[in-house]
């Protein structure tokens, strides 16, 4: 009897091996699930008051295609300034692509927000905005076609070096359009008296619309404007280093280059002033 009970309770060697293999597979699956659950997606937020947000979907798709090849990172464009600054107020472990103008609006109250990368175009980190029209503007009223936000546009116009009489700032009307090229077209076709556009956009306009370009002239030039910055909260730098490295490497792949082009850039470079925060030279 005892021998019979012993044989019934014994487990064949093949079954033991199968159970051990099953337990091993389950352990690997659980460990992989835990690892993927623990790998948080890094979000890169983007808002630029210098330009219109109508291409945000294209921008997101292009950046995400680049990131998803080998990084757990996503781009999240933001449509308005208040939402963007609300996100920054939470001090999340994220990156923020913003205009240099906006960064300086924020830095007085957020000393822990540091600029880490600067965008470059043609190896230059600055650009100028041009005021372009067919002739001198009326001192009483004028319509200016722009692709940026009202607050940013007025800050540029107030400091602009003009070749004509001062702008009628109190009677100025802004016509908001998607892109600089559209602002220039608005002037050519009589919908605006002047346009605010970058030097690069004005050069493109000369190639695309040669006849219309010949009727235009530069009425004013802005102070040098710094290009986009990538900012973060310095306490999150170690966790975000991989995302910063991914941005720096964008100019090495076609998808990355396309993403940079959509931002009006050729590459990112690390700001020297942030090297002491733990970054690489």
Instruction: Name residues of the chain where pLDDT drops below 70.
Output: 1-39, 53-54, 273-281
pLDDT at residue 91, rounded to an integer:
95
pLDDT digits (tens, 9 = 90+) for 258-279: 999 999 999 999 998 654 444 4
DSSP string, 82-151: HHHHHHHHT--S-EEEE-HHHHHHHTTT-TTEEEEEEEEBTTBSEE-EEEEESSPPPSS-EEEEESS-HH
The separation between CA 68 and the C-alpha centre of its own chain, rounded to angstroms, equals 17
Q: Taking a C-beta distance cutoff of 8 angstroms, is the pair 95, 174 a contact?
A: no
pLDDT digits (tens, 9 = 90+) for 181-199: 999 999 999 999 999 999 9
pLDDT at residue 187, rounded to an integer:
98
Task: Name all domains of the chain by residue range, CATH numbers in brackets.
Answer: 42-125+226-277 (3.40.190.180), 129-223 (3.40.190.10)
Helix 56-67 and helix 254-262, axial crossing angle in degrees, nearest 10:
150
pLDDT at residue 27, rounded to an integer:
46
DSSP string, 151-187: HHHHHHHHT-EESSSPP-GGGEEEEE-SSHHHHHHHH
Q: Taking a C-beta distance cutoff of 8 angstroms, is the pair 259, 77 a contact?
A: no
Q: Which residue in 218, 224, 219, 202 sits closest to 166, CA to CA?
A: 219
pLDDT at residue 36, rounded to an integer:
39
pLDDT at residue 85, rounded to an integer:
94
pTM of the complete model: 0.81
Q: Taking a C-beta distance cutoff of 8 angstroms, is the pair 195, 184 a contact?
A: yes
Could you tell me which residues are beta bridge partners of residue 161? 221
Give, for 73, the enclosing helix (H) or strand (E). strand 73-77
Mean pLDDT for all residues in the chain? 85
pLDDT at residue 51, rounded to an integer:
84
């Amino acid at each position: 009897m005892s021998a019979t009970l012993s044989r019934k309770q014994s487990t064949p060697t093949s079954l033991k091996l199968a159970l051990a293999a099953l337990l091993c597979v389950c352990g690997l699956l659980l460990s992989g699930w835990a690892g993927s659950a623990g790998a948080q997606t890094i979000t890169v937020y983007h808002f630029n008051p210098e330009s219109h947000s109508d291409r945000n979907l294209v921008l997101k798709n292009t950046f995400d295609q680049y990131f998803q090849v080998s990084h757990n990172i996503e781009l999240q464009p933001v449509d308005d300034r208040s939402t963007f600054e609300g996100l920054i107020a939470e001090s999340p472990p994220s990156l923020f692509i913003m205009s240099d103008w906006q960064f300086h609006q924020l830095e007085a109250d957020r000393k822990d927000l540091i600029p880490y990368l600067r965008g470059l175009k043609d190896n230059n980190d600055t650009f100028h905005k041009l005021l372009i029209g067919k002739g001198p503007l009326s001192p009483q009223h004028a319509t200016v076609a722009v692709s940026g936000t009202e607050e940013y546009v007025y800050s540029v116009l107030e400091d602009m070096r003009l070749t004509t009489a001062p702008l009628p700032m109190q009677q100025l009307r802004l016509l908001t359009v998607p892109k600089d090229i559209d602002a220039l077209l608005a002037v050519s076709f009589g919908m605006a008296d002047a346009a605010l556009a970058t030097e690069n956009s004005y050069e493109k306009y000369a190639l695309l619309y040669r006849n219309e370009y010949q009727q235009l002239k530069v009425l004013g030039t802005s102070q040098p404007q710094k290009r986009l910055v990538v900012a973060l909260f310095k306490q999150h730098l170690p966790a975000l280093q991989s995302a910063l490295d991914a941005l720096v490497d964008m100019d090495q792949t076609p998808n990355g280059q396309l993403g940079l082009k959509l931002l009006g850039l050729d590459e990112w470079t690390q700001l020297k002033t942030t090297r002491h925060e733990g970054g690489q030279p």
